[in-house]
Chain A
Amino acid sequence: MAVSQLVGAKIHRREDPRLITGHGRYTDDLTRTGLVHLAVVRSPHAHARIKSIGVEAAKKSPGVLGVFTAQDFKDIIAGPATHPVAPVFAPDKKVNPPRYPIAREEVCYQGEPVAVVVAEQRYQAADAAQLVDVEYDPLPAVMEIEEAMKPGSPKAHTDQPDNIAWDATYVPWEATEEAFKTADVVVKQRILQRRLSPNAIESRVVMAEYDPFDKRLTMWMSTQNPHWIRLFVSGALGMGEHSVRVVSHDVGGGFGSKISPYPEDYLVPAVSKLVERPVKWTETRTEAVQNAYAGRGQIYDVEASAKKDGTLLGMRVTQLLDCGAYIGTFGAFQTCACLLAGGAYKWKAISSRSIGVLTNKITTDPYRGAGRPEATHVAERMIDLLAVELKMDPVELRRKNFPAKEEFPFTQNFGLVMDSGDYNASLDKALKLFGYDQMRREQAEARKQGKLVGIGLSTWIEICGLGPGAVTGPATGGVVLSESAQVKVHPAGGVSIYVGTHNHGQGNDTTHAQIAADALGVPIEQIDIRHGDTNEGPGFGYGTYGSRTLAVGGVAINRACAKVVEKGKKVAAHILEAAEEDIVFDQGKFHVKGAPDKSKAFGEVAFAAYGQLPAGLEQGLEAVAYFEPPNFVWPFGAHICAVEVDAETGNAQITKYVAVDDCGNIINPMIVDGQLHGGIAQSIGQALYEEMVYDQDGQLRSATFLDYTIPSMNEIPNIQLDRTITPSPTNELGVKGIGEAGTIAATAAIINAICDAVSPLGIKHVDMPATPDRLWNQIKEARK
């Protein structure tokens, strides 16, 4: 086993030189000879019947090559299979409206495509799109989850029986009867998770070129998972996967919004087929806020019970999930909140149920954390509400109910096996870093002066590293979320590694190379990491999401490297004239056992691998590995936040933020910290500022960065990080995931701190986003 040299080191990112000099290759930076531009005509109504579409004026507009509507795509795009829905709970699925990339008779959300215009130039396409004359018959829009659930509510789709997408009970209410009957305290709370707009700073871009002679399609796009897109698009266009190539170079952020297929992923290549020119579509920010698959959008009704001494007993959770107009391809993943709502604690019993509801809004789908931030928020809020009732310090209540370090692997209430953890260790470290006791004393002093200051905790856990086939296979409809890697060692010793994951800021080009450099014992400069091109590498790649890239993809790289080393041993045995079992591989050298100077360097073995070999030994030094993890991985940590609420303005100021997180072994600490900073910032956005606001007719009123306020530099406070390291037993690298951790953890710490701050006024709960006007009103009400 090579001594680890690069794993764990702060290696500067290899992808940066091009990005800091303006030489990145984001999709909109690319062009093709003869490129034309596409603009989408979208429904201004949330719900309406299309009466007619007048295209003549648009067709005559300068530079226009064509205007196309649903009619024109009938024979080109097979629908509605274009927007498959992962059958997470097929038996419980009630209403699953078919979705086409372009509306036929009825539009069901504001922004749904009704026509596309293609023109020689960007501005010409935009001009002509304005001239498409669509006549609508407006229909009542269903905007609120609970309204939509009522019998007799208007329907999000007129041809469907009702608005209930699914109604799934995981554990029935009877199972928690005992836990509530024997309880000393019971708390109840409704908790809101507003709709969020992901807003990667690079919006989506799709460019496609169909070659009518070779019948090949190439697509360049901003996506988190090129292979999935190839699978969907090739199927919809009736082409084999072998004739479709999806290329994705640099991607300007994803956060979940670039996983599932979008209408334009089908429309752009289809139009390229129709006009026989390469076609590009670049989404505007307004289009992105309106049409990127939204996050969250849920209501939780929760009850929790405990004994006087703080022993947790039961929890009952109902999740009402706003699916939007169509169930998202991976939208039902967010129901995982129902299985994780118990958080880091031991409960006697938990019951949960999820109801998916259709509304006339854009679809919801996984957004950074997807279900896990919601679960954390539920668990951590309920713990704090119980602590208030029990008059216990929230730290003590948490500690009392953690599984002990020795109890891992720990099977939680829903049968999921938490692989490793030491929840007290991260909490202890965080308390110390925060100066908890001192801060509590200062809080007591400040309160005497009438200040609204609060402290909030979030001892979060996460399930990630999707995922074991037994769970992910049935959930996706057959595709197991394993991961692939191919390692090719060229004759002169250079190494090309192709991975099925992708990179949209996570720094994988660097961390993956660190893993391979150690596994092969070659200098990192000799290794090239490649991804984002379906014509390269293994047959399928599963993509980057769900904090899986390292814990699944990284392990696949390690295994492919191990296979290469095994083959290398055979070759080395031949050139060293020794028996294969006597060959030792160490630090990039193959030597004969007991004779370290009888050795061959990695490069020499690589060269020999392409030369003359004994009978039965094939030339070449390369390998493919697929890694299907036996379990999920379970990062955890403790976040502590201090806030001061200004009673006069309602402004909540974060005055201190401390996070101690544990993601198992670490490949590159610099990158881990960066992921946490970004995740926490996104969570601050959700806790304090962000919300997609619609009016009752379904018009999005927060459709630009003016109204949908993602935090700027001024809104993000000082964040202090530290970590503990509890290796994962799930994979040989001992790694977990960190991409979503900050987002999963932070909202609960912030909102708990705000609730603590305003508790002297008798306020028990504050919902997100805790904007100044909301808080100000709540304070005003409380003071009445």
Chain B
Amino acid sequence: MKHKVAVTINGRKHEHEVEARLLLVHYLRDVVGLTGTHIGCDTSQCGACTIHVDGKAIKSCTMFAVQADGRNLTTIEGLAKEGKLHPIQQAFWDEHGLQCGYCTPGFIMAAAYLLEQNPNPTEDEIRRGLEGNLCRCTGYVNIVKSVQSAAKVMGGASTTAGRSAVTAGGE
């Protein structure tokens, strides 16, 4: 049996008939065609699928598409506005916060929510806030840096409290 979902994604309305069991992440990727949201696990551990639902970061593999009915979603594709990168996207680029890039959309969406909740996080708060996202490439060092530098740009005062950013040498 099919169910109707009507959602707003990145400001645009979508309506589809879907199976009740269809995961939101599969709906986004396979039905709507927004493939920037990734899948990295089957036990809700990796956070690669993180999007915003009514402004809150959620793992879209833990929700059915039908549960998103009537909600407002933002995916990684909707973060850059008018061709201008979101400061967190810019910071990931500037600070080399990604290597293979597969975990990156999830991290950026999770970080965007984190900074909204806490514009001025310490390093420990960043680490605790993003521990639900896994990256196998970067060792997280530059991801932490990216979030710190985005926080600075977005207006939260920078902070070196907690563990300090990692230094790179020899340039």
A residues apposed to B, CB below 8 Å: 10, 12-13, 15-17, 19-24, 26, 28-29, 122-123, 199-203, 250-253, 255, 284-286, 504-507, 666, 669-671, 673-675, 677-682, 704-706, 710, 712-714, 716-723, 725, 742
Q: Which of A13, A17, A19, A675 has the most CB of B within 10 A?
A: A19
**A201 with B166: CB separation less than 8 A:** no
Known A678-B139, A713-B144; 17 more pairs at CB < 8 Å: A15-B101, A20-B101, A20-B108, A21-B76, A29-B35, A199-B136, A200-B102, A251-B100, A252-B103, A253-B100, A505-B99, A505-B100, A505-B137, A506-B99, A674-B96, A712-B134, A719-B166
**A721 with B41: CB separation less than 8 A:** no
Residues of B within 8 A of A16 (CB): 92-93, 98, 101
**B101 with A719: CB separation less than 8 A:** no
B34 at the interface (CB under 8 A from A): yes
Query: How far is A23 from B29 in the complex, measured between Cα atoms in Å?
Result: 12
**B101 with A19: CB separation less than 8 A:** yes
Residues of B within 8 A of A712 (CB): 131-134, 140
Across the interface, A720 reaches (CB within 8 A) one of B22, B77, B99, B166, namely B166
Chain B interface residue count, Cβ-Cβ cutoff 8 angstroms = 65
A-B contact pairs, 10 of them (CB 8 A): A10-B171, A19-B101, A22-B36, A28-B35, A201-B48, A201-B100, A669-B170, A677-B140, A712-B131, A716-B141
Residues of A within 8 A of B77 (CB): 21-23
**A677 with B134: CB separation less than 8 A:** no
**B93 with A17: CB separation less than 8 A:** yes
Q: From A723, which residue of chain B is reached at the shortest CB distance?
A: B170
Q: From B41, which residue of chain A is reached at the shortest CB distance?
A: A285
Residues of B within 8 A of A202 (CB): 38, 40, 100, 102
Query: How far is A188 from B28 in the complex, measured between Cα atoms in Å?
Result: 57
Query: How far is A203 from B41 in the complex, measured between Cα atoms in Å?
Result: 9
**A22 with B130: CB separation less than 8 A:** no
**How far does the Cβ of B169 sit from chain A's closest Cβ, in whole Å?**
4
Query: How far is A285 from B170 in the complex, measured between Cα atoms in Å?
Result: 38
**A26 with B171: CB separation less than 8 A:** no
Across the interface, A681 reaches (CB within 8 A) one of B19, B46, B128, B139, namely B139
Query: How far is A23 from B80 in the complex, measured between Cα atoms in Å?
Result: 12
B143 at the interface (CB under 8 A from A): yes
Residues of A within 8 A of B143 (CB): 713
**B42 with A669: CB separation less than 8 A:** no
Residues of B within 8 A of A253 (CB): 99-100, 102, 136-137
**B96 with A671: CB separation less than 8 A:** yes
Query: How far is A505 from B76 in the complex, measured between Cα atoms in Å?
Result: 19
**A252 with B102: CB separation less than 8 A:** yes
3 closest A-B pairs (Cβ-Cβ)? A22-B36, A252-B102, A681-B139
Query: How far is A340 from B101 in the complex, measured between Cα atoms in Å?
Result: 33
B56 at the interface (CB under 8 A from A): no
**B80 with A704: CB separation less than 8 A:** no
Q: Is the interface of B mostly helix, strand, loop or mixed?
A: loop
Across the interface, B101 reaches (CB within 8 A) one of A199, A252, A704, namely A252
Query: How far is A89 from B99 in the complex, measured between Cα atoms in Å?
Result: 35
**How far does the Cβ of B25 sit from chain A's closest Cβ, in whole Å?**
11
Query: How far is A29 from B134 in the complex, measured between Cα atoms in Å?
Result: 20
Q: From B130, which residue of chain A is reached at the shortest CB distance?
A: A713
**A680 with B170: CB separation less than 8 A:** no
Query: How far is A284 from B37 in the complex, measured between Cα atoms in Å?
Result: 16
B residues apposed to A, CB below 8 Å: 19, 21-22, 26, 29-30, 34-43, 45-46, 48, 75-77, 79-80, 85, 89, 92-94, 96, 98-105, 108, 126-128, 130-144, 163-164, 166-171
Residues of B within 8 A of A675 (CB): 99
Q: Which of A201, A284, A725, A742 has the most CB of B within 10 A?
A: A201
**A201 with B135: CB separation less than 8 A:** yes
Residues of B within 8 A of A203 (CB): 40
Query: How far is A284 from B23 in the complex, measured between Cα atoms in Å?
Result: 14
Q: From A24, which residue of chain B is reached at the shortest CB distance?
A: B101
**B136 with A13: CB separation less than 8 A:** no
Query: How far is A127 from B16 in the complex, measured between Cα atoms in Å?
Result: 22
Q: From A286, which residue of chain B is reached at the shortest CB distance?
A: B42
**How far does the Cβ of A87 sit from chain B's closest Cβ, in whole Å?**
32
Q: Which of A16, A286, A669, A742 has the most CB of B within 10 A?
A: A16
**How far does the Cβ of B162 sit from chain A's closest Cβ, in whole Å?**
10
Residues of B within 8 A of A19 (CB): 98, 101, 104
**B89 with A21: CB separation less than 8 A:** yes
Residues of A within 8 A of B138 (CB): 674, 677-678, 681
Query: How far is A23 from B105 in the complex, measured between Cα atoms in Å?
Result: 10
**How far does the Cβ of A119 sit from chain B's closest Cβ, in whole Å?**
14
* With contact pairs A202-B40, A713-B144 given, residues A123 and B19 touching in the complex (Cβ less than 8 Å): yes
**How far does the Cβ of A734 sit from chain B's closest Cβ, in whole Å?**
15
Across the interface, B102 reaches (CB within 8 A) one of A10, A201, A704, A714, namely A201
Residues of B within 8 A of A677 (CB): 138-142, 166
**B38 with A252: CB separation less than 8 A:** yes
Q: From A18, which residue of chain B is reached at the shortest CB distance?
A: B101
**How far does the Cβ of B111 sit from chain A's closest Cβ, in whole Å?**
11
**A505 with B168: CB separation less than 8 A:** no
Residues of A within 8 A of B131 (CB): 712-714
Query: How far is A199 from B45 in the complex, measured between Cα atoms in Å?
Result: 13
* With contact pairs A21-B76, A22-B76, A202-B102 given, residues A13 and B96 touching in the complex (Cβ less than 8 Å): yes
**How far does the Cβ of A352 sit from chain B's closest Cβ, in whole Å?**
32
Residues of A within 8 A of B98 (CB): 16, 19-20, 505
Q: From A25, which residue of chain B is reached at the shortest CB distance?
A: B35
Residues of A within 8 A of B100 (CB): 200-202, 250-253, 504-505
Across the interface, B43 reaches (CB within 8 A) one of A21, A705, A721, A725, namely A705
**B36 with A23: CB separation less than 8 A:** yes
**B80 with A255: CB separation less than 8 A:** no
Q: Which of B29, B75, B103, B136 has the most CB of A within 10 A?
A: B136
Residues of B within 8 A of A681 (CB): 138-141
Q: From B99, which residue of chain A is reached at the shortest CB distance?
A: A505
Residues of B within 8 A of A10 (CB): 171
**A22 with B105: CB separation less than 8 A:** yes
Residues of A within 8 A of B36 (CB): 21-24
